[in-house]
Amino acid sequence: MGSFSGFIDGKPIMAMGRPWSIINPATEQVCRTITLCEASDVDQAVAAARRALPGYAHWSVGQRIKLLSRIFERCTERADEFVELIVTEIGAPIEYARSTHLPYSLEHFEEMIEVLADYPFASKLKHARIIREPIGVCGLITPWNWPLGQVVAKAALALAAGCTMVIKPSEWSPSCATLFAEICAECGLPAGVLNVVHGNGEGVGAALAAHPDVDMISFTGSTRAGIEVAKLAATTVKRVAQELGGKSPSIMLSDADLDKFVPITVLKCFENAGQACQAPTLLFVSKEQRERAVRLACEAAERIVIGDPRSPTTQMGPVVNERQFSNIQRMIQDGVGEGATLACGGAGRPPGQRNGYFVRPTIFADVSPAMRIAKDEIFGPVLCILTYETEEEAIRIASATKYGLAAYIQTASPQRASSLARRLGAGRVYFNFAPGGRSIPFGGYKQSGNGREHGIFGLEQYLEVKAVCGLPD
Ligand code: NAD
C-alpha cells in the first residue's frame, strides 16, 4: 500500500497539502509520510460521492449483500496488512490487534449481511406506504483509537443502506482507511461510492462537516470536536450522529464477587492502553470493600505485561502520540496534587522503557467526585477508585458525570442489577461484564453522543423515511 493522501473516485490520490509524518508510538520514529488533503480535495471527494449516489442507491438488496460479503472476505484475507498498520500507527499489541481489533471491526459486515436479508425497506402504516431510502452522501469522521473498527462501523452500515460516502479518518492512524478503500474498489464497488480524505480536523474535518452537498455526518471522537462538528453541520440542516467521550462507572454492589470483577474492571479499563471510549474508568466500592478492592486492583495492574507491541506476550503498548502521553501525565500529576491516594503506577514511563509513549498503569484510590481525574475523560490507563457509604450515594455520583456511554454493575442479584440499570443514564449497561455484541445498539446518553451505531439501530441512522399516502394496496 502506498503512502497516499486518500482515495477519490476509485483512485488513490496524492494531495498538494502539507506533509504529515505518522509516528510509530512505540519507537517515536516516522513510519510513513503523507501529504494532507485540503478543502478543495474535500470538494472533489464530495462531488464524486454525489455523482455515484443515484447509481448505487438503486442497487438491489441482493447486490448489496453480495458486495458486503466480497469486501468482508477480502478484508479477512488481507488481515495481516491491517494488523501491521494498527500495530505501527497506534502501538496496539500484535496479538490484541489480531484477536480483537480485526474481528470486532469486520463483524459489522457479517451483521449487515444478516440484517439486510430481511430488513423491511418498504412497509405499510394505515393508508400509507413507508419507504426507507438511503439518506444520501455521508461524511464519516473517525478517531484514531480503533483505526479499522471505527471506519467499518460506519462504512459497512452506510454501504448497506445504499449511501455514498467520504471518510475522514484520524490523521494519527489514517492508513487502515486507505487500505480499506483499495479493497472495496478491488471488490467491485463503483468509483465514487467510498472516498477517503486524509487531513486534520480543523481543516478537512470541518470542511466536510460544513459541506452543503453532504446529507449526513457521522462523527466519532471527543465531545469537544463533536460539538464543533454539530455546529458546522447545523447551517445546512444535516443529520448528525455523534459518538463521543465517556467516563463509565463500574459499580460493585455489596454482594459482588470482588476477586472476579475487580481484576476484570482493571483489564477493561486498561484495554487498548486505556484508549477505549466505554472503558470502566471509575470503580465504585463500598467502605467495607475498599481495602480488598484496592489490593486486587493493584495486583491485576502489576501483572499486565507492557512493552514492544510486536512481542506476542505484550498486553499493553504505548498510547498513540506525544500529545496523548503528555495529557495523561498531566492528569496523573493532577490526581496526586488533588490528594487522591496513588495506589500503583504514577507519572513517567514504566521501568525499563526509555522511549516510546508508554504510560504506567495507574490506580488512584480515595478519589472524590470533585477531583478532575473523576470528572474528565483521561483516555489512558488510569483507574479511579471511589468509595461509597450507601448504594444511593454510588448511583448519585455515578450519574453526576456529564457522560453516559456505558455503565457496569456487579452483583449476584439480577433483580438489583435490573432496577439499578434503569436508574443509570448510559447507552449500554453491562451486568457482571456480560458481552455486548455486534447487533446491540451502541451510543451515548448526555454528552456521550446522539444516535446509536451497530446493527439495525445503526443502519437506520443512514436511512430517510418517506411516507407515500393514497396509493392503492
Ligand atoms: P478527536 O475529537 O480529537 O478527533 C476525532 C476525529 O475528529 C479526527 O478525525 C479529527 O481529525 C476530527 N476532528 C477534530 N476536530 C475537528 C473539527 N473541529 N471538525 C471536524 N473534525 C474534527 O478525538 P480523538 O483524539 O481522535 O479520539 C479520542 C476521543 O474519541 C475520546 O474522547 C473518545 O472517548 C472518543 N471516542 C468515542 C467513541 C464512541 O463510540 N463514543 C469511540 C472511540 C473514541
Instruction: For residue 361, give the nearest of 266, 465, 472, 244 by alpha carbon.
Output: 266
Ligand 1 neighbours by CB, cut-off 6 Å: 141-146, 168, 170-171, 200-202, 205-206, 209, 220-222, 225, 228-229, 243-246, 277, 377, 379, 405, 444, 448-449
Distances (CA, A) of 40 to 4, 95, 205, 250: 16, 40, 12, 46
pLDDT tens digits for range 308-342: 999 999 999 999 999 999 999 999 999 999 999 99
Report how far Cα 410 is from the mean position of its chain's Cα atoms. Answer: 24
Burial 195-223 (b: 16+ CB within 10 A, else e): bbbbbbbebbbbbbbbbeebbbbbbbbbb
Instruction: DSSP letter for 266, please.
Output: H
Catalytic residue, candidates 89, 107, 243, 271: 243
Catalytic residue, candidates 75, 138, 269, 277: 277
Closest-lying ligand 1 atom to the alpha carbon of residue 245: 34
Cα gap 408→354, rounded to integer Å: 36
Instruction: For residue 250, give the nearest of 290, 280, 292 by alpha carbon.
Output: 280
- 220 CA to centre of ligand 1 in angstroms: 5
Instruction: DSSP letter for 440, please.
Output: S
Q: Residue 16: pLDDT above 90?
A: no
243 is catalytic: yes
By most ligand atoms within 8 Å of CB, the mutation choice from 108, 145, 281 for ligand 1 is 145
Torsion sign, CA atoms 181, 63, 116, 138: positive
Paired strand residues for 240: 217
pLDDT tens digits for range 390-400: 999 999 999 99
What's this model's pTM, rounded to 2 decimal places?
0.98
Q: What is the pLDDT of residue 2?
A: 55
pLDDT tens digits for range 45-101: 999 999 999 999 999 999 999 999 999 999 999 999 999 999 999 999 999 999 999
Q: What is the pLDDT of residue 181?
A: 98
Q: Residue 4: pLDDT above 90?
A: no
472 band by pLDDT with thresholds 50, 70 and 90: confident
- 431 CA to centre of ligand 1 in angstroms: 28
Q: What is the pLDDT of residue 1?
A: 53
Q: What is the pLDDT of residue 211?
A: 98
16-20 long-range Cβ contacts below 8 angstroms, 24+ apart = 17/41, 17/199, 20/171, 20/198
Helical H segments across 78-172, by residue range: 79-90, 94-96, 102-118, 149-161
> Nine-digit cell at 258?
470482588
Cα gap 230→10, rounded to integer Å: 29
Closest-lying ligand 1 atom to the alpha carbon of residue 448: 41
Closest-lying ligand 1 atom to the alpha carbon of residue 168: 9
Q: What are the residues whose beta carbons fall under 8 Å from the beta carbon of 36, sequence distance 6 or more?
A: 5, 15, 17, 18, 19, 20, 171, 198, 199, 200, 203, 204
pLDDT tens digits for range 116-149: 999 999 999 999 999 999 999 999 999 999 999 9
Q: What are the residues whose beta carbons fall under 8 Å from the beta carbon of 443, sequence distance 6 or more?
A: 243, 405, 427, 449, 450, 451, 452, 453, 457
Q: Residue 167: pLDDT above 60?
A: yes
For all residues of the chain together, what is the average pLDDT? 97
